Amino acid sequence: MNPPVQVVPIPAFRDNYIWCLRDETRAAVVDPGDAAPVFAYLTRENLELSAILATHHHNDHVGGIGALTQRHPVPVYAPFDDRIDGVTNRVAEGDRVRLPQFGLELRVLEIPGHTLTHIAYYGPNMLFCGDTLFACGCGRLFEGTPRQMLTSLTKLAALPEDTLVYCGHEYTESNLRFGRTVDPANPFLESWEQQASDLRRRQQPTLPSSLARERRGNPFLRCDDPVVAAAASRETGQDLGGAVAVFAALREWKNRF
Ligand SMILES: [Zn+2]
């Protein structure tokens, strides 16, 4: 029986997190946009890199793969997308990524929207969802449609509610400001905002979140909620019918926010 794997954030750039799965001696990293902080962490903790997983092609998620694999020729898992180099294992919906060093198997979920080939990795109690689902928010639609993104978010939200959500960026405080604007009378969002600002004041990550929390608070997962739909309708000056229209309006509103 393996000891439980730890999941640790390695901060990168201004607000990225490279998530590191680790035990006493080995580590796997998710979305290493930059190799330098990963090398520094591996050296400091005396860990051997054993795998790399990527969720999507943006450089702040894959930019460090080349330098890492030059020094550590480990398996690299990524979606079928030629824009990601140095991949050893292309994976798609339903594939399993086995990390036997941690006694762990992660399932691949295709979640287009932020990009068309974005994937997530889901395992017992943990979800690595890149730039699709954020704490109280979601990624921008660079390539996909609102309908695609909403379908992807709905798919993630249907996972067990005790799933911990490991997102690609520390955007929680600004997402909560937006969430509170959409739904100002919600005491759950108020206390979440308080917790998040306490953590940030102490320079602690606000992540992981949980699906229970996201389902309850995240406006992008509540497009059927009359409060959220009414706020989006007020903002656009239109009577928005249906969750996709509400989602599209929320996403546009957040872009301007
Ligand atoms: Zn991205």
Q: How far is the CA of 232 from the centre of ligand 1 (A)?
A: 25
What is residue 241's predicted lDDT score, i.e. its pLDDT?
A: 85
What is residue 220's predicted lDDT score, i.e. its pLDDT?
A: 98
Catalytic positions, written as ranges: 56, 58, 60-61, 114, 131, 169
Average pLDDT, the chain: 97
Q: How far is the CA of 114 from the centre of ligand 1 (A)?
A: 7
| Cα R_g (the chain), whole angstroms | 18
Q: How far is the CA of 51 from the centre of ligand 1 (A)?
A: 21
Q: How far is the CA of 134 from the centre of ligand 1 (A)?
A: 11
The CA distance from 66 to 73, in Å, is 10
Which ranges of the chain have pLDDT less than 70?
1-3
What is residue 4's predicted lDDT score, i.e. its pLDDT?
A: 79
Burial class (CB in 10 A: 0-12, 13-18, 19+), 116: middle
Strands 48-53 and 26-30: parallel
Write out pLDDT tens, residues 62-107.
999 999 999 999 999 999 999 999 999 999 999 999 999 999 999 9
Could you tell me the CA-to-CA distances from 197 to 10, 170, 171, 176, 233 in Å, in that order?
20, 12, 12, 10, 29
